[in-house]
Structures are given as C-alpha cells and as structure tokens.
Amino acid sequence: MEVNIHEAKSTLSKLIERARSGDEVIIAKAGTPMVRLVPVDRPAKRVFGSAKGLIKFKKGWDAPMTEREIDEFIGE
C-alpha cells in the first residue's frame, strides 16, 4: 500500500497497525516513494535468573581495591 504524506499524517495509527500486521506501507511525496513503514523487532522478554550458572566470578572479586589498583583504574 502506498500513501502520500498528507494521508499518512491523518491516518498514522491505522498505517502503523497495518505495518505491524505484515502489510507493506510506503509513504510517498508527490508520487515518489520516500520511506517504508516497518515494525520494530522486539527483543525477547527478559527472564530473571536466565543467566544463572553462565557467569563465573573469581574468589575475592568483591574485595576492596588497593590504592595502586584504584590509581590504575582512574588512570593516575
């Protein structure tokens, strides 16, 4: 489906729904196609705890940093 910019402005919600349902929606200016309206791929829903067992920490990872480590960390 191809619509001009003026029509797209007044029917944007309907055009978005059509694009989300799989229809090709082209917006044209003076009969020249300018853009294609396409749905955005949604990332998969996050599941709490789904990375359990995939991340390993070395023993003592949470120990306070030494003065030298802090200086190296901040670039001094």
pLDDT value of residue 41? 82
Structure tokens at 7: 């029509």
Alpha-carbon gap, residue 12 to 3, rounded angstroms: 10
Q: Which of 45, 24, 49, 22 is nearest to 36 (CA)?
A: 24
- Domain ranges (residues) in the chain: 2-37
pTM score: 0.53
Summarize pLDDT for 36-76 with one digit per residue, the tens: 999 988 777 888 988 889 989 999 999 999 999 999 999 87
pLDDT value of residue 40? 87
- Range 17-38 average pLDDT: 95
